[in-house]
Amino acid sequence: MSDNGDITWLLVDGENIDATLGSSILGRRPQPEERPRWDRLTAFAARTWQQPAQGLFFLNASSGIPMSFVQALKAMDYRVVPLSGSPDEKVVDIAIQRTLRALRDRAGDVMLVSHDGDFLDDLAALIDDDRRVGLLAFSEFRNVGFATIPGLRKFDLEFDADVFDAPLPRVRVIPIEEFDPDAFLR
């Protein structure tokens, strides 16, 4: 267990995950049954580092708050962070960057759920001998800069965190020790 707070801060860039899922994987807007099961994400974070996980879900609410979605997240014990700003501001990115900077002075481990390279420097700055820092994303779509951060633990949303009810139509490089021919012989 971590000796600095015994908590994992799980920061979710939902907009980024939704866009990647829709545009890059499905090629269309995801159906409700194709979306991540966010409760499984906090369960994964808690199980992985064997301590409680607190999810912060960042939303761009410039054009309104999706109340049913917010209520569902709150029921899963997420702290919902609805943000607004001008059309040229990336409000979710700004808020996540500020949160990563604020976490430098707080106890706890950190998992970021995003593919976005805007977080490279702030995430790297959190890594030290006492704090575990992880990135959850679709491996093939995460910014290549994350591979250059020593000590960053990388997890795949589908294959490690298992947050989807059905397999996604992804093409990924398979490490030979994980290759299962049965998956291709259906």
Domain extent for 18: 8-184
74, part of any domain? yes
22, part of any domain? yes
106, part of any domain? yes
- Which is more confident, 157 or 4? 157
2, part of any domain? no
99, part of any domain? yes
Report pLDDT for 180: 87
Percentage of the chain modeled with pLDDT above 70: 97
Report pLDDT for 17: 93
Q: Are 124 and 134 in contact (CB under 8 A)?
A: no
3, part of any domain? no
Whether the CA torsion 57, 66, 164, 172 is positive or negative: it is: negative
- Which is more confident, 38 or 174? 38
38, part of any domain? yes
Is the per-residue pLDDT at 2 higher than 60?
no
Instruction: Kindly give the residue spans of alpha helices, DSSP state H, lying in 55-174.
Output: 67-75, 91-103, 120-124
Is the per-residue pLDDT at 149 higher than 90?
yes
64, part of any domain? yes
Q: How many domains does the chain have?
A: 1
Q: Which CATH number characterizes residue 92's domain?
A: 3.40.50.1010
- Rounded to two decimals, the pTM is 0.89
